[in-house]
């Protein structure tokens, strides 16, 4: 049996969200429109950033929605894949960088007690 952990996005879910917290939903939608509008960065670049971030946060809805939006704003498949590779490197890089915490903890464990 193949059952998805995530329910498919639907108009019904959107309407429920809106009905349960209409002002918050309205504010979020306005914020989203403003964030993704052309500014110092063009909308296409913002959508490529969003695709990369969505892969790091692992939000399937965001991955799908921002991939579609990036394509609508003229992003190429190659640009999208490069953005995804940037996300992969950043995620791996964070694990690598955080190894300093484990290394310091190992060093602390090696020190004689009472020092």
How much is the pLDDT for 114?
A: 74
User: pLDDT confidence of 2, banded at 50, 70, 90?
Assistant: low
Find the CATH number of the domain harbouring 105: 1.20.1290.10
Question: Are 65 and 26 contained in the same domain?
Answer: no
- The C-alpha angle with vertex 78 and arms to 92 and 43, in degrees rounded to 5, equals 90
- Name the one residue in this structure whose structure tokens are 């955080």: 98
80 and 29 part of one domain: no
When the pLDDT of each residue in the chain is averaged and rounded to a whole number, the result is: 94
Q: Are residues 49 and 103 in the same domain?
A: yes
**What burial class does residue 26 get, using C-beta atoms within 10 Å of its C-beta: 0-12 exposed, 13-18 middle, 19+ buried?**
exposed
Question: In terms of residue numbers, what domain contains 18?
Answer: 10-38
Task: Name the pLDDT band for 113 (thresholds 50, 70, 90).
Answer: confident
Same-domain pairing of 99 and 77: yes
Q: Are residues 46 and 71 in the same domain?
A: yes
């Amino acid at each position: 049996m193949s059952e998805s952990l995530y329910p498919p996005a639907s108009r019904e879910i959107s309407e429920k969200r809106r009905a349960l917290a209409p002002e918050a939903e309205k504010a979020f939608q306005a914020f989203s429109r403003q964030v993704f509008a052309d500014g110092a960065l063009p909308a296409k670049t913002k959508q490529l950033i969003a695709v990369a971030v969505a892969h790091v946060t692992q939000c399937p809805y965001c991955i799908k929605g921002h991939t579609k939006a990036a394509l609508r704003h003229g992003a190429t498949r190659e640009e999208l894949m490069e953005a995804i590779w940037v996300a992969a490197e950043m995620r791996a890089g964070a694990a690598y960088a955080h190894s300093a915490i484990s290394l310091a903890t190992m060093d602390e464990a090696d020190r004689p007690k009472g020092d």
